[in-house]
Amino acid sequence: MAVPTFVDRVRLFVSAGRGGNGVASVHREKFKPLGGPDGGNGGPGGSVILRVDADVTTLVEYHHSPRRTAEHGGHGAGAHRNGAHGGDLVLPVPDGTVVTRADGTPIADMVGPGAELVVAGGGAGGLGNAALASTKRKAPGFALLGEPGDELEVVLELKVVADIGLVGFPSAGKSSLIAAMSRARPKIADYPFTTLVPNLGMVTAGDTTFTVADVPGLIEGASEGRGLGHDFLRHVERCAALVHVVDTATFEPDRAPVEDLDIIENELARYGGLEDRPRLVALNKVDVPDGREIADMVLADLTARGLRVFPVSAASGEGLRELGFAMAEIVQAARTERESVVAERIVLRPQAVREEDFSVRATGAGWRVRGTKPERWVRQTDFSNDEAVGFLADRLDRLGVERKLLALGAVEGDAVLIGDPEDAVVFDFRPGMDAGGEILSRRGEDVRLTEDRPAARRRRAIDEAMPDRGENETRADVARRYDRGPTSYEIGSDADPDAAPADPAGPGGSER
């Protein structure tokens, strides 16, 4: 099987790097065993970037390797060390590459060397417990996970960027004209469909230098897939002008120059989008005696149509200078028109619209919650850590998810699904639970999962006894008196013994 050297359409599967996980760590040193959280953040994953490279002329590299993945971000570490950033994956593409989604939705038209497109963004890194610490949660015992990067299937389609496009039947001499007018050396032979890929050549006429490209394989029915024209008609879409190369010395008895031109024009019209391009006609092979006679016969008919006609010969060079200057004139006019257009400054002043951060709807499987924030928070949560689950519940509660569910009629025990239907996380709805985000708790422990918390009751009792403490008493004195039991209120204190009942857990508790 032959290995293709020119590929102008490929399907590419790109995967951006996943963000690194944050880490839960506590600073430790001699005589200071609990020095505070110092877990670093995870590094962001690398993105997949398409970049126009002038040295790349084909998409063959992605034909052989259609799957590309960027680097993942590094995980965080203790001592406030953040994870390394995942390296971006830069994919060079030819000038004129059109990027679309698999369903045909356009993404970008990449024209001009250096143009870049981030086709898949890297995932964000997870926060470490140092970044999650707050006045209410001084020592988080959990960290957030890194987010996955984008995964996307795109179609890359090359449309050659050329100023002049040569169109015509096979063996009309398009490649010979390019070889005679430029330094390009395409394959040339005396049989149809010699040219299997578009050829490009740089032509200079006076002070104007422009690019000429031929479109191979145009025959009747090309717009419907016959021949090779269906695959290569796209390459004339960017041309400023089209040149019909007409063979005046064909050996086929059922062909005539005017009929050839009409057939090609019909195919261009059926393809669409090329009606506004100026046309030139090159009657090629006039160096052949019969070719000269036929060219003289059809010259008047073509001129009567308003076409500029040039009898030329790629073999002898006759008429190529005049044709080149006519091409340059059209190209220069098109460039001047583009340069004279002043881009209008567009100022967008959108109206402020308050959209809900999430949506809730009832399904057969349960209550489905969709939204950027809830789904992102679920991806960041380590469900093996109870405290991390509590933190997620706090975030969802602050967002108003529980209130929305109650308003829609959800009851305790209902299934709540958050995320994409194919990969959703299922929760049991428990309304009215105390949020644990602002309550201090043991490392790795979610206070809402514990029914009996003596330390919490002890702290509340001490808080209630503080207004009635003695003049010189501190909170520590009140706490010690609470630990000794109710009899301690009879000695040296006027406080109400009922203000701070003894902890059923007995002495030895520690204030949280």
Q: Coil, strand or helix: which one is 280?
A: strand
| 2 is an annotated ligand-binding site residue | no
Contact of 125 with 43, CB cutoff 8 Å? yes
Consult the annotation and say whether 216 binds a ligand: yes
Say whether 428 counts as a known binding-site residue.
no
In order, the DSSP letters of 426-450 are EEE--TTPPP-TTS---TT--GGG-
- Run of H or E residues at 352: none
Q: Which residues contact 231 (CB under 8 A, 6 or more apart)?
A: 8, 9, 217
Q: Is 500 annotated as a binding residue?
A: no
- Is there a binding annotation on residue 313? yes
Residue 168, marked binder = yes
Annotated binding residue 236: no
Please name which of 376, 392, 375 lies closest in space to residue 142, comparing C-alpha atoms.
392
Burial code (b: 16+ CB inside 10 Å, e: under 16) for 255-281 equals ebbeebbebbeebbeebeebeebbbbb
Kind and range of the H or E element at 214? Answer: strand 208-214
Cα(225)–Cα(404) distance, integer angstroms: 55
Burial code of 285-295, b = ≥16 C-beta within 10 A, e = fewer? bbbbeebbebb
> For tokens 């016969």, what's the residue?
297
Distance (Å, whole) CA 404 – CA 176 = 73
Cα of 42 vs its chain's centroid, Å: 21
3-state secondary structure of 329: helix
Beta strands per DSSP E along 24-78: 48-52, 67-69
286 is in an annotated binding site: yes
Is residue 33 exposed (0-12), middle (13-18) or buried (19+ Cβ within 10 Å)? exposed
Q: Is 175 within any annotated ligand binding site?
A: yes
Measured CA distances, 453 to 248, 341, 380, 445, 465 (Å) = 99, 74, 28, 12, 19
Size (the chain), residues: 512
State yes or no: 58 annotated in a binding site. Answer: no
Q: Is 373 annotated as a binding residue?
A: no
Residue/partner pairs of 334-340 with CB below 8 Å, 24 or more apart = 334/163, 334/240, 334/241, 335/240
138 labelled as ligand-binding?
Answer: no
196 assigned ligand-binding residue: yes
* Mutual angle of helices 401-408 and 386-399, in 10-degree steps: 70
Nearest Cα to 145, choosing from 70, 72, 48, 69? 72
Binding site annotation covers 385? no
Residues 380/147, Cβ–Cβ less than 8 Å: yes
Question: Cα-flanking dihedrals φ and ψ of residue 203, to 5°?
Answer: -120, 140
Residue of 469, 463, 466, 508 lying closest to 485 (CA atoms):
508
Q: Is 193 annotated as a binding residue?
A: yes
Closest CA to 222 of 255, 279, 172, 266: 266
Q: Is 468 annotated as a binding residue?
A: no
Report d(CA 110, CA 51) in Å as an integer. Answer: 8
Contact of 174 with 245, CB cutoff 8 Å:
yes
Which residues are annotated as part of the binding site for GTP? 168-175, 193-197, 214-217, 284-287, 313-315
Which residues are annotated as part of the binding site for Mg(2+)? 175, 195
Which residues are annotated as part of the binding site? 168-175, 193-197, 214-217, 284-287, 313-315
